[in-house]
Amino acid sequence: MRTQVGIIGAGPSGLLLSQLLHLQGIESVVLERRTPDYVLGRIRAGVLEEGMVQMLRRAECAGRMDAEGLIHDGFEICFGEVRHRIDLKKHTGAGVMVYGQTEVTKDLMDARAAAGGAVIYEAENVALHDLDSNTPKLTYQKDGAEHEVVCDYIAGCDGFHGPSRRAMPENVLKEHERVYPFGWLGILTDTRPVADELIYVNHWRGFALCSMRSMTRSRYYIQCAFDENLDEWTDDRIWDELRVRLPADAAESIEMGPSIEKSIAPLRSFVAEPMRHGRLFLAGDAAHIVPPTGAKGLNLAASDIHFLSNALIAFYQDGQTDLMDSYSEKCLDRIWKAERFSWWMTTVLHRFPDQNSFDRGVQLAELDYLTSSEPAQAAFAENYVGLPFE
């Protein structure tokens, strides 16, 4: 088949790009190796920056988010058993939208289906070809047959483990990585959130986070060893550890219940440069990973797609290629700032196995300075709500 833009991956990046191009009359084909249910079954973060909210409105997919999402003007950081509120609205004029990534993906899936979009699930062995030619192509297998998609451009929205980044020539691609010596054990429960806003906790036993998906569905995380065996974490054991790490008033009032999802995620900072080679553009997790501490993963995918969709639209509508030429540099400028912020939040909120008393003293000083300095909170808040796209 022939299309204008071949997209690998039907996660938030690929679906958002396909939808934005469609609204400008630009054709795309999305190739996804999994089933829709599998994609929706991946539980991810749930904090949207204003930029992401605007992208969903631009994509005409914001109806359910506006109806069901929760606008949070701040959140708390707790250390030494003391809860400190960071007032995002006061410092930036903006808050964040609490709305699960699963819901974002479902809204985008529904929009593409309603428009008759070409999103092909269970596409196996997707491969990229002729990236330096004017007719790059994707091949894949489905239902026992070999298929080919000839296109003008390819968007690699296939996440950290996808084939796009690996299709970049080794002498072109540079990768930068830090792997953290711990993971996050997350549970989803149909219980009332312990507080109206998120609570990030630095405890000597390890990090904890109280989040939510709605006022009747809570999301909790506790730091654990990166090689932890999930089977050894019963719900009771998770609740017990969470209540040890939470401040006393929260530990006493938390509503416990059975987990409807339980998983362990590794933490990594990763950046691949450049994000373009020939007719291939990388976007989202295919090009970068952040530890979830700063809730930046989905929001960085949004800014990549902001730049990529604008570049493709400028090409197809006006024949311009300058936005394509500046795509990688513009994305990476914002990505590295979000990487730094996510690394810093991770560094000050977690217990590191090799942490000595000096390290612990510096951690507490960082948190004490942040929570006692208005200028420090203003700088922190502008990073948390999201730096401008341009």
Query: Looking at the annotation, which residues are catalytic?
Result: 72, 200, 292, 296, 384
Determine if 346 is a binding residue for ligand PHB (CB under 6 A): no
Residue with tokens 């020939």: 278
| Cα 341 to Cα 85: distance, rounded to the nearest angstrom | 18
- Only segment of 19-27, 147-155, 287-295, 357-365 that touches ligand PHB (CB under 6 A): 287-295
Closest CB to ligand APR among 6 and 206?
Answer: 6
Tell whether residue 53 is a contact of ligand PHB (CB under 6 A): no
- Window 29-48: contact mask with ligand PHB (x via CB under 6 A): ----------------xxx-
CB of 80 to ligand APR, least distance (A): 30
Peptide bond between residue 136 and the one before it cis (omega within 30 degrees of 0)? no
- Residues 159, 305 contacting (CB under 8 angstroms): no
Residue selected from 3, 293, 328, 346 as contacting ligand PHB according to rule CB under 6 A: 293
Binding residues (CB under 6 A) for ligand APR: these are 8-14, 31-34, 39, 44-45, 101, 123, 126, 157-159, 161-163, 284-285, 297-298, 301
Nearer to ligand PHB, 151 or 367 (CB): 367
Least separation in angstroms between residue 292's CB and ligand APR is 7
Q: Which residues pair with 282 in a beta bridge?
A: 156
Nearer to ligand PHB, 107 or 197 (CB): 197
201 is a site residue for ligand PHB (CB under 6 A): no
Kindly report the three-state secondary structure assignment for every residue of 204-267.
Answer: CCCCEEEEEEECCEEEEEEEECCCCCHHHCCHHHHHHHHHHHCCHHHHHHCCCCCEEEEEEEEE
Residue type, 173: L
Question: Rounded to the nearest whole angstrom, what is the least distance from the CB of residue 77 to ligand APR in the complex?
Answer: 22
> Whole-number minimum distance, CB 18 to ligand PHB, in Å?
25
The answer to whether residue 292 forms part of the interface with ligand PHB (CB under 6 A) is yes
- Give how many residues touch ligand PHB by CB under 6 A: 10
Beta-carbon contacts of residue 101 (< 8 Å; ≥ 6 apart): 12, 44, 45, 46, 298
Pick 32 or 241: Cβ nearer ligand APR: 32
Of the candidate spans 15-23, 170-178, 293-301, 331-339, the one that interacts with ligand PHB by CB under 6 A turns out to be: 293-301
Nearer to ligand APR, 247 or 292 (CB): 292
To ligand PHB, the closest distance from the beta carbon of 377 in angstroms equals 17
Task: State the alpha helices, DSSP H only, in 23-69.
Answer: 36-41, 50-58, 63-68
Residue of this chain nearest to ligand PHB (CB atom): 211
Residue 349 binds ligand PHB, judged by CB under 6 A = no
Burial of 378 (0-12, 13-18, 19+ CB in 10 A): middle
What are the tokens at 232? 């050894």
Question: Helices H, strands E: what count in the chain?
Answer: 12, 20
H or E segment to which residue 101 belongs: helix 101-114
295 binds, among ligand APR, ligand PHB, none (CB under 5 to 8 A by kind): ligand PHB
Q: Residue for token digits 């932890």? A: 228
CA–CA separation, 258 vs 185, rounded Å?
A: 15
The interaxial angle of helices 322-349 and 297-318, nearest 10 deg, is: 180
Q: How far is the CB of 254 from ligand APR (least distance, A)?
A: 26
Residues in touch with ligand PHB (CB under 6 A): 45-47, 198, 211, 219, 292-295
